Amino acid sequence: MTLSTHPPHVHPPKPPAPSFLRRLSMAFRVFFRILVYPDYAAQVDGLRFGADLPPPLTAAPPAPAPTPAPAVNYNDAALQLLALLQRDARLIDFTQENLTRYSDADIGGAARVVHEGCCKVLREHFTIVPVRQEAEGSRIVLNDGFDARAIRLTGNVVGKAPFLGSLSHRGWRAIEVRLPKFAENHDVTVLAQAEVEL
């Protein structure tokens, strides 16, 4: 028998909530893992139904290649993407601005600039394609064995496949990532340099 280290009916203290910057880093790290690892994406999607947290990713057995692929630092990649969104879309400037003093028309104009910049970053550094090719609103049949990692069932989900439903969103899949390489001694934590006009 294993004795509890805590008195009866006394729960251990919860760890402190992570800071905003820590949560931001975690969000981008999970974002990239979801894009790269379909199994991890399926586990994260299962959290909506009360599944356990996905276990930490473990490195796959090395493939029989002469030179192994370099390890990906997800923190650096997340910060790099954030810096690109700031450079081309002023995303950080937009989110850090107090919008209460601006009119809806002013905010709409700024949002258009952010939208155009974000589109530019996605076009230049990612190849993104729909998961399903049918038009949204189409009636489709999902036979037994459909890819649950790429298709999420919503609404009244009962029984087993085949399922007949309406395609409410085609989904997105990243098939190529083209983030630039870092220059030597590059500080990835500097998302935008301070500017001093002389």
Q: Is 41 exposed, middle or buried (0-12, 13-18, 19+ CB in 10 A)?
A: middle
Q: What is the pLDDT along the chain (198 residues), one digit of tens a residue?
A: 444 444 555 555 666 777 766 666 676 676 767 766 777 777 777 665 555 555 555 555 666 665 555 566 778 889 999 999 999 999 999 999 999 999 999 999 999 999 999 999 999 999 999 999 999 999 999 999 999 999 999 999 999 999 999 999 999 999 999 998 888 888 989 999 999 999
Secondary structure of residue 27 in the 3-state scheme: helix
Write the single-letter amino acid at 89.
Answer: A
Beta bridge partners of 164: 141
Instruction: Tell me the pTM.
Output: 0.57
